[in-house]
Amino acid sequence: MIEVEHVTKRFGKIVAVDDVSFRVDEGEVVGFLGPNGAGKSTVMRILTSFIPATSGKVRVAGFDPFWESIQVRQRVGYLPESVPLYREMRVSEYLFHRARLKGVPACERKRRIGEVLDRCGINEVAHRVIGQLSKGYRQRVGLADALVNDPPILILDEPTVGLDPNQVRLVREMIKELGRRRTVLLSTHILSEVEMICPRVIIISRGRIVAEDRTENLMSRLGPSLEDVFVRLTQTEDVVGHVVGQDARRAEEVRA
């Protein structure tokens, strides 16, 4: 469903993403990890048609995000880390507006909005102005927006940021459920969350993929927890260079 081949993104002289390649198959839930400034959000913005790659090839649900951006946007639900909401609108008004923009048929909009309001736990604030909501509720409105057109692919950047522990648990369970019939690419700094949700992880550092493997395989080889693996791969350049080749080969075996 998501194919990235030798993608590089430059901003002037700065190389934000450097020859990145990976694949996420249909029905996979994959964690996309990296320290701040590693290139995660840049890759996600390329996948969701917000910015073009400088070079390389990208296919999302079989479409090119640059040349076929409408087709990609129709098939992807994207939750950015900073959710861009119309703060002067009421929650239900905003979701109706977004459903219309995303091409949800008029006869289905009421049902779809009711479903995402319930699934994201925001029924009680459906008639409130978005700008008056807490950060946690605004995050859940953004998640409802990502789900309103029932897309086959979800790209989620820090979906549990700003949520309280009960809300975090509910969102984690929802992502697990959604992953049973959707492709999910999940970025988060909560590494224990990735261990619970994502069977496979991709780790990026300094704009390059440094590991790609099943979560359990990485932990068995490189550390007792994903946090140990993450620190080791993103702080030591020598280790990074050694692990990339192993994980690239193992990832191919996993997919085969």
**3-state SS record for 118-133:** HHCCCHHHCCCEHHHC
Structure tokens at 106: 């008029």
CA dihedral 166, 95, 62, 52 (to 10 degrees): -90
State the CB neighbour count (10 A cutoff) for residue 52.
15
Domain 2-255 is of which CATH architecture?
3-Layer(aba) Sandwich (3.40)
pTM here?
0.85
SS (H, E, C) 130-186: HHHCCHHHHHHHHHHHHHCCCCCEEEEECCCCCCCHHHHHHHHHHHHHHCCCCEEEE
- pLDDT tens for 143-172 read 999 999 999 999 999 888 778 888 888 888
What's the pLDDT score for residue 106?
Answer: 94
What's the pLDDT score for residue 95?
Answer: 97
What's the pLDDT score for residue 242?
Answer: 38
Rounded CA-CA distance 38/235 in Å is 12
Query: Can you give the residue ranges of every domain in the chain?
Result: 2-255
pLDDT along the chain (256 residues), means of 10: 95 94 93 90 94 96 94 92 91 96 93 94 95 90 94 91 82 84 89 88 93 90 86 64 42 42
What's the pLDDT score for residue 122?
Answer: 93
What's the pLDDT score for residue 247?
Answer: 41
106, 127 contact by CB (below 8 A): no
Question: Which contiguous run of DSSP H or E holds residue 83?
Answer: none
What's the pLDDT score for residue 164?
Answer: 83
Structure tokens at 173: 């369970």
CA–CA distance from 202 to each of 124, 209, 213 (Å)?
A: 37, 7, 7
